[in-house]
Structures are given as structure tokens and as C-alpha cells.
Amino acid sequence: MINAVWRGDKLKKGGRGEHGLWGMTLVFWIMSAFAAALLLIEFKKQSLIAGASPAQENTLFNETAAAEVASPPVASGASNDNFAIVRQTVWGLPGSWLKRFIDISASITLIILASPLALLTALAIKLDSSGPVLYRQKRVGLRGQVFEVFKFRSMIMNAEPEGPQYARLLDDRVTRVGSVIRKFRIDEIPQAINVLRGEMSFVGPRPERPEFVKELEKEIPNYHARHIVKPGITGWAQVKYEYAATVDGAREKLRYDLFYIQNSAPLFDLVIILKTVRVALFGIGSR
């Protein structure tokens, strides 16, 4: 009799367990359907963003961002409360950890996949000209903080005896190997180290040199707004616009940078990465 009671109790517990399993399964499918719907909406949004014309980009930016970034310019390295306010629009605060996770994953993947090419590039640089394989250069990053970016050396040593200057078309300072690795963006690969160190993101505005930033902040209103996020190895401005060596060019690229900041999302980053592959393969917009 005791055995029968025990088995009856066991059967009752099993029944409740089965109901609980069905309930968890139902919740799982509801959450999956909800996530799929959100993903579809986000994909459509990012598809519209990625295919927007310059005029449409201006409209989208003006409608969502003008009021937030229209603050007085600040010098590089200075603090500004607007940085904290506007930065919340980039993937949102809950999404910031996800962006960092993707940055680390993408950088490690890039280092692993590109390691054979990186070794060949290092050997070619060493055989082609005297000097180190890698070089460091000061750039302006998040909140105007200065850091050193890593790149494969593509120019001769002492290429700027008269001070910092923009790269030129058919620049005679660029080495033979340098012209190739710059064309196909191979010189940017070591920046994955900067991403792992937390100084850069995989996708974001291009980090500029402090000397250039100082001048551009005088000429272009709200130029400092691009420093509310980490700079990137690639970015919307890099895939949509050619190398900028003038104030007008920098002003145009700033529009793309601000557009990215206000519309940034995981799928938008993926679109940019895919476009970067195309740019790198065909050497579009390099100098």
C-alpha cells in the first residue's frame, strides 16, 4: 500500500513536470517569435539606412540628431556632459557590452585569418625599405583622448620633416609595398590590437591625428561630436566617401560619421563590415 501511494505521488509529480515543460516550451516559442519580429524590423530599418541617398541621410540625421549634437565645440581632451548624453544613442546602454563582445570577436578573427597575409606583408616591408615593419602614430579617440594607433609602415622613414601632412595622390613618400597595402587596406590590420586594448572599435569614425583635429575643430562646427564614440578600423564614412585631405572633404565625412552614430546598430555594423570587404578587394577610395 505504501508502494502504491508512492507511485501515485510520483505520477502526480510527473504530471506537473510535463505541464511545466509545455509551459516553458510555449514561452520559448513566443520569445523566439518576438525576437524574430524585432530582428526583421531592425533589418528593414538598417536596409533603408544602408541604401539611403545623401539627401535622405541628411533628413534622417536632422530629424533625430541635430538637437543632441548642436553643442559648442570643445577642445580635444576636454570633458563635456553632451558626450555622455549622445553616447547613449550608440547601440543603447544595454547594447554597449554586445558591441564590445563583437569588437573582440571580430578582431581575434581578423588576426587569425589575416596572419598569413600579415607575415607576408611584414617580410615584404622589410625587404622593400629600411625601417620597422610596424609604426605607431598618435590619433584622437573617445572623448578626445589621444592614443597610439598601430599600422603596417607604408611610407619611407622621416616622411614628414616639416610636420604632419595629409597623404597625396601619387605620394612619393609611399614605398612600393606601401602603395599596395594602402590600396587594399592591409596596412590597417594591426589596428585589431587597438581594438583588443579597448582604444578602438571595429566599426566607428576614422581616428584622426591631433594636429588635424585641432584645425578641423576650428573650421567645422560640431566636429568634436564624432569623438563621442570609439574610432573604428572601418566605418560608414570610410565605405561611403573617399580619402579626405581637405576641410570640405572632412566636413562631408563628418556628416556620414554623425549619421552612423545616430543610427548605429549591430546589423548596420554588419552592413559596414561587408561593404568594407568590397572596398578592400577592389581598392576603392584609398590613397
- Which string of DSSP letters, residue by residue, matches 218-259? HHSTTGGGGGGS--EEE-HHHHHS----SHHHHHHHHHHHHH
Q: How far is CA 148 from CA 83, 108, 220, 246, in A?
A: 22, 20, 24, 23
Q: What's the predicted TM-score (pTM) here?
A: 0.69
Per-residue pLDDT band for 203 (boundaries 50, 70, 90) equals: very high
Q: How far is CA 164 from CA 76, 175, 233, in A?
A: 17, 18, 21
Q: For residue range 52-99, list pLDDT tens digits in order.
A: 555 555 554 444 344 334 333 333 444 444 444 344 445 544 457 888
Which residues 6+ apart lie within 8 Å of 239 measured at CB?
Answer: 272, 275, 276, 278, 279
Within 10 Å of residue 74's Cβ, how many Cβ atoms? 17
Per-residue pLDDT band for 284 (boundaries 50, 70, 90) equals: low
Q: Is residue 151's pLDDT more than 60?
A: yes
Q: Is residue 287's pLDDT more than 70?
A: no
Q: Is residue 186's pLDDT more than 90?
A: yes
CA 14/CA 132 separation, integer angstroms? 70
Per-residue pLDDT band for 116 (boundaries 50, 70, 90) equals: very high
Closest CA to 275 of 47, 30, 4, 18: 47
The mean per-residue pLDDT over the stretch 34-53 comes to 49
